[in-house]
Every structure is written in C-alpha cells, then in structure tokens.
Chains A and B, each alone.
Chain A
Amino acid sequence: QVQLVQSGAEVKKPGASVKISCKTSGYTFTNFYVHWVRQAPGQGPEWMGVINPDGGATNYAQKFRGRVALTRDTSTTTVYMDLSNLRSEDWATYYCAREDIHTGMVLFYWGQGTLVSVSS
C-alpha cells in the first residue's frame, strides 16, 4: 500500500533551517509528483511547492521562493523539504502529499505530518 512517512518533530530557533524527510513506498516513485503543504495551528492548509521525482524539477509558491528547497533521492524514494531563515510564523505542521492517480494537483496520499516549532 502507498505510504508516506515523515521525519519527527523539530524545535528550531529563529533564523535557523529545518530539513524534513518524506519516505515513500508502495508505488513507482518517479510516476507521481510530491507536494508540500503546511498548516499553522487553527488555520487552513497552505501549499508550499511541488517536486517531480522524475528528474527533480520543482515549483514553489511565490511566498516561499528563496527560502524553500525540495529535493529527492531516487535510490531511497525519499523527498526532502528544506526551509531556511525560520521565523515564528513558520510554526506549523508540515505535510508531504502525493497526487491522486486520476488528476494532478489534487492530493490523495498524505504523510503523517511533522510539527516544526520556532521559538527563541
């Protein structure tokens, strides 16, 4: 079965960086785009960007350009999200998610989420 398993919770200071992993399994890694979505406490989800595991091409939401980097390792079928220059507003749960088989830019399979806390 399809699974996306994320790395554990992180506590960071303002100005630091965080790198979250998303280990995928149960499907052909290069066949489906993987997205990153974050959700601040009590807020709706917010799309951050997407990576095509087949070749590694990326697209980022304008809000995060210059601060976020998505990468992948095809040998371990893992996708990574790196967010730099953290500020208090980045305190959120971060999710990786795989597109649905029927259509792109719609997310069917999700990781369990990784809480990133940012505090001095």
Chain B
Amino acid sequence: EIVLTQSPGTLSLSPGERGTLSCRASQNIRTYLAWYQQKPGQAPRLLIYEASKRATGVPARFIGSGSGTDFTLTISSLEPEDFAVYYCQQRDSWMTFGGGTKVEVK
C-alpha cells in the first residue's frame, strides 16, 4: 500500500498569508495525486487532480505542484474560507489518503 505523509500537521497563518502544504509518497506515484479540502461536518471537496490541475470551480489561488514522491499545495493568499483541513490522495495504486494538514487562524 502506498503511504502518503503530510506535513506539517498544523499550519497557523493569518488571512492574506501564503500557505505551503507538503505531501510525500512512499513510492513513485508519477503525477497521480489529488488534494481535497474538508471543513467540519462536511464531505471533502476536490481541489486539485493530476498534481496540478484545478478542479471545476476552484479558485486560482490554489496551486498544486510536484511529481514522483514530493508534492506541494500552495494557497497563494489565504481567504477566511480557506481555513480547513487538507488531504492528499493518490490514485497510482488504488486509492489512499494522507493524514491531513490543518490550516488554522494564527
């Protein structure tokens, strides 16, 4: 099973700041990585697929990058609605998710 390790566990930032979230895969997953946002009491929301493609309706401030084993989700300027938990997910070998990064208000 491919293991995804996300860091940091918690990111404390202020609105308007830039957020950088990391996801590392236990083996090469090419660009088969997606990112989701989840708010309390809600289902996850797809943000990015194929490492860098924004899903329908996702604002341009969400930027995905990386390939192989190292991936990054950058939120260029945090809006109040962006404070949430973010998960990465691989589809190179079935499907697994990372443990999440919580982006909280500093």
Contact = CB atoms under 8 A, between A and B. Distances in A.
Interface of A: 35, 37, 43-47, 59, 61-62, 95, 97, 100, 102-108, 110-113
The 7 closest A-B pairs by CB, nearest first: A105-B91, A110-B43, A47-B95, A45-B97, A106-B49, A44-B97, A44-B99
B55 interface: yes
Interface in B69-106: 87, 89, 91, 94-100
Interface of B: 1, 32, 34, 36, 43-46, 49-50, 53, 55-56, 87, 89, 91, 94-100
A6 to B, nearest CB: 10
B50 A59 contact: no
Given A44-B97, A106-B91, A95 B49 contact: no
Nearest to A59: B94
A105 B87 contact: no
Given A44-B99, A95-B43, 20 more contacts: A45-B87, A47-B94, A47-B95, A61-B95, A62-B1, A95-B44, A103-B50, A103-B91, A104-B91, A105-B91, A105-B94, A106-B34, A106-B49, A106-B91, A107-B44, A107-B89, A108-B55, A108-B56, A110-B45, A112-B43
B43 A47 contact: no
Contact of B89 (A43, A59, A104, A106): A106
Contacts of A95: 43-44
B49 A103 contact: yes
Nearest to B48: A106
Given A106-B34, A110-B43, A113-B43, A47 B96 contact: yes
Contacts of A37: 97
